[in-house]
Chains A and B, each alone.
Chain A
Amino acid sequence: NAGVTQTPKFRILKIGQSMTLQCTQDMNHNYMYWYRQDPGMGLKLIYYSVGAGITDKGEVPNGYNVSRSTTEDFPLRLELAAPSQTSVYFCASRNRPSSGAPSYEQYFGPGTRLTVT
């Protein structure tokens, strides 16, 4: 299993441009999450999804959109990039908890480093 993969690894955007950060997981996990991490800070939740077709806002959703048409993919869309969106973006996934499940462990991707200038 590749786990959680993210593309691209790095990207530089000009103010006002748009882009989509891709996230794919091959573990058949129901739950997926997008976080952002500013320098020296902990991660903040942007959006999450509990299954295909279901998404909800996290702590910092403004300026972003998501969709979940398949179990595997959870893309994050930036419509009008702003310098405040310069950050490292992490995607994560976890399985649906069930009795006997060992943990609610989230698996994180390697991140996308985005700079908006």
Chain B
Amino acid sequence: DAKTTQPNSMESNEEEPVHLPCNHSTISGTDYIHWYRQLPSQGPEYVIHGLTSNVNNRMASLAIAEDRKSSTLILHRATLRDAAVYYCILRDVSNTGKLIFGQGTTLQVKP
């Protein structure tokens, strides 16, 4: 399975944008890039996913590099509730949809 590399931790100020990077240099052509986040003492929750084009939803934006070897999750205005561990995951190309989690990035949001 292709692996991802993320910084262990990042800090942000409340109401400022946050850019969470992810490197995936061995990504294959059919790998989707998924982002999940895990709030303290909760199960992970889906944030966003994409294949080649940039994606937006109500939670975040996903910017994918043209060569697809990296991507960036963008939170447009961080709130205290966004403090979580963010996981960048390359979805298994088989139809089983297995997710291989790395250690993720712990985001701290300061008031």
A interface residues with partner B (beta carbon < 8 Å) = 4, 31, 33, 35, 40-45, 48, 50, 56, 58-59, 90, 92, 94, 97, 103-111
Contact = CB atoms under 8 A, between A and B. Distances in A.
B105 to A, nearest CB: 11
A45 B100 contact: yes
Contact of B96 (A41, A56, A105): A56
Interface residues of B, number: 21
Interface of B: 32, 34, 36, 42-46, 49, 87, 91, 95-104
A109 B101 CA distance: 16
Given A44-B101, A104-B49, A104-B91, A92 B96 contact: no
Given A56-B96, A103-B46, 19 more contacts: A33-B98, A33-B99, A35-B101, A41-B103, A42-B103, A44-B101, A45-B98, A59-B100, A90-B44, A92-B44, A103-B49, A104-B32, A104-B49, A107-B46, A108-B45, A109-B43, A110-B42, A110-B43, A111-B42
B103 to A, nearest CB: 5
A112 to B, nearest CB: 10
Given A42-B87, A42-B102, A31 B96 contact: yes
Contacts of A33: 98-99
Contacts of B96: 31, 48, 50, 56
